[in-house]
Amino acid sequence: MNDLKEKVAHGVFLLAAITSILSLVVIVIFIFTNGLPMMIDYGVFDFLLGTTWNRTTFGILPMIVGSIVVTIGAVLIGVPVGIFTAIFMAEFCPPSVYRFLKPAVNLMAGIPSILYGFFALRIIVPWVRDTFGGPGNSMLAAILLLGIMILPTIISLSESAIRSVPRSYYSGSIALGASKERSIFAVLVPAAKSGIFSSVVLGVGRAIGETMAVVMVAGNQPIMPRGLTQGVRTLTTNIVMEMAYASGQHRDALVATGVVLFVFVMLINGIFLYIKNKEAK
């Protein structure tokens, strides 16, 4: 009797566990079977390297470049600020302050992207327009916005990476006469580098995949990026801008844009998993 119960439970749990794999497989199948044929039909090179995007011509190079540039910009801003903040939280911060900061970081991670986007639309866009000229809805606005949005990811992962470095590293360094700062920056941070790096990778993933906040501030022109104060369209915003009405080959082209985005995200995930596995060993 009990034996049967155990067997049934085992089966049910296994079934539940397979849901994830199944979902992933279905997602991949549906995105790729809807997107790839269009790409091949249209010509992979024309699609990936074409610089014109309109109702009949589907070249997504501007969006690929847009996504990459915006992500790099966000990383340049978010990563140093995030890592320094993580160092503060792990090493400088007295427990009484930490009690407030830790939930604050969690809150930052929990704030919906729509609120970030709205905030950026009302604050960052006018600020960029007044300070740097141009229309305001621009690459710079998107970069600043994403720079803020990836902070919680980078802070919490980097912080736990720094905290997981054995304490003896730090005390050893102090015992050898190094200053607190030197011990932190020359000993702790290098020892935590793979954890910090994986936080950066996840931050990149978040930046490249962000949609709703970016569409509100980026300007969304489907042409090659022309400068920081000019508008830009990313892969994600390309999909969300036009999906509602697209049909036929146009819709497939948007799904194909999704395929390209998916491949980017898979690469990033792959790097992340690789680091994680290496660390585990």
Partner 1 sequence: MNTLFKWGAILGTTATLVACGNGDAEGTGSNDSASEEFDTSSSLHLVTREVGSGTRDAFAEMINLTDGDNDLIDPAATAQQGTNAVNTTVADDQYAIGYTSVGALNDDIKPVQIDGVDPTAENILAGDYSIARNFNVIRGDELSEQAQAFWDFMFSAEGQAVVEEVGYIQSDTEAPAYEGSDLDLSGDIDVNGSTAVYPVVEAMAEAFGDIHPDVQISVHSTGSGAGVTSAIDGTTDIGMASRDLNDDEVDQVTEVAPIALDGIAVIVHPSNPLESLTVDQVSDIFSGNVSTWDDVSN
Partner 2 sequence: MGSKILNGLVYLSTILTFGALGFLVLYILFNGVQYLTPSLFEWTYTTQNVSMMPALITTLYVVLGTLFIATPIGVFTGFYLVDYANRDNKIVKAISMATDTLAGIPSIIYGLFGMLFFVIFLGLQFSLLAGILTVTIMTLPVIIRATEEALIATGMPIRQASYALGAGKLRTLFKVVLPMAMPGILSGVILATGKVIGETAALMFTLGTATLLPQSLLASGRTLSLHMFILSGEGHNVNEAYATAVVLLLFVLVINGLSTFISKRLSKGGK
Axis crossing angle, helix 151-163 with helix 61-87, rounded to the nearest 10: 40
Shortest Å distance, C-beta 195 to partner 2: 16
The residues near 182 (Cβ < 8 Å, ≥ 6 apart) are 173
Residue 137 interacts, among partner 1, partner 2, none and using kind-specific CB cut-offs from 5 to 8 Å, with partner 1
Per-position x/- string for 22-61, each x denoting binding to partner 1 as judged by CB under 8 A, each - no binding: ------------------------------xxxxxx----
Q: Which stretch binds partner 2 (CB under 8 A): 50-58, 130-138, 157-165, 239-247?
A: 239-247
Nearer to partner 1 among residue 206 and residue 233 (C-beta): 233
d(CA 83, CA 79): 6
Contact set for partner 2, span 218-237 (CB under 8 A): 236
d(CA 24, CA 91): 39
Pick the binder of partner 2 from 56, 244, 245, 247 (CB under 8 A). 244
Contacts of 219 (CB under 8 A, 6+ apart): 135, 137, 138, 139, 230, 231, 232, 233
When asked if residue 231 is in the footprint of partner 1 (CB under 8 A), the reply is: yes
Q: How far is CA 107 from CA 77, 134, 195, 199, 257, in A?
A: 20, 33, 22, 18, 32
CA 169 remoteness from chain centre: 32
Residue numbers 196-215 binding partner 1 by CB under 8 A = 215
From candidates 59, 78, 117, 134, binder to partner 1 by CB under 8 A: 134
Region 139-178 residues binding partner 2, contact defined as CB under 8 A: 148, 151, 155
127 in contact with partner 1 (CB under 8 A): yes
